[in-house]
Structure 1
């Protein structure tokens, strides 16, 4: 996994590990990322299933409870099948847009 920082955003890019392994590694090392908005880039995967997306649900819920954004990036999923609790977008640019919108919502008290 490749970890990059852009201000208050941490971008984690999937390399070779399975989605389940990546989700577990993120949970174990969560203390390193908990103060950042997270973008998990899964674009390198050939395909990704709903079950694999759900692997991030617990981490997503924990991170959002701390008033931080959590966005998955993949253009290989059916966005209509994704659970409402997890934000999945097809491009990293859209992930930045989501974080910006969520920051505005938090500032307004939503």
Structure 2
């Protein structure tokens, strides 16, 4: 797992192991991550077309929402309309940063 800090955001990229092992590592270290917005970069991973694997991140996304922080997953080539509002999935890192910026503006305005 590779972690890169960019301002108030952490970009976490899976580097080895299974997706489930990756999620377990994030959960184990969550206390040190929860004060940041989180982008999980899975752009190089083979994710099924329906995104069922991504539902494993839903608990983390809800935890981030409780901390008033953003949680965005980057995956290419997937049906982005398949996800409810708890799970934010975008095709590029640029879009992930844009989503976080919009979320922070909304939080600053009290929405």
Q: TM class, shorter-chain normalised?
A: over 0.9
Q: 2:4, 2:11 within 8 Å by CA — same for their partners in 1?
A: yes
Q: Residue deviations 1:28-51, cap 9 Å, x none?
A: 110111111000000111233532
Q: Does 1:4 align with 2:4?
A: yes
Q: 2:39, 2:96 within 8 Å by CA — same for their partners in 1?
A: yes
Distance, in Å, in 2 between the alignment partners of 1:45 and 1:86 is 18
- Structure 1 ranges of 4+ moved more than 2 A: 46-51
Tell me the TM-score normalised to structure 2 length: 0.92
Q: 2:11, 2:41 within 8 Å by CA — same for their partners in 1?
A: yes
| Helix, strand or coil at the partner of 1:64 | helix
User: Alpha carbon RMSD of aligned pairs, Å?
Assistant: 1.2
Tell me the TM-score normalised to structure 1 length: 0.93
Distance, in Å, in 1 between the alignment partners of 2:100 and 2:75 is 16
Aligned pair count? 110
Unpaired runs of 5+ in structure 1? Answer: none
Which stretch shifts more, 42-51 or 84-93? 42-51
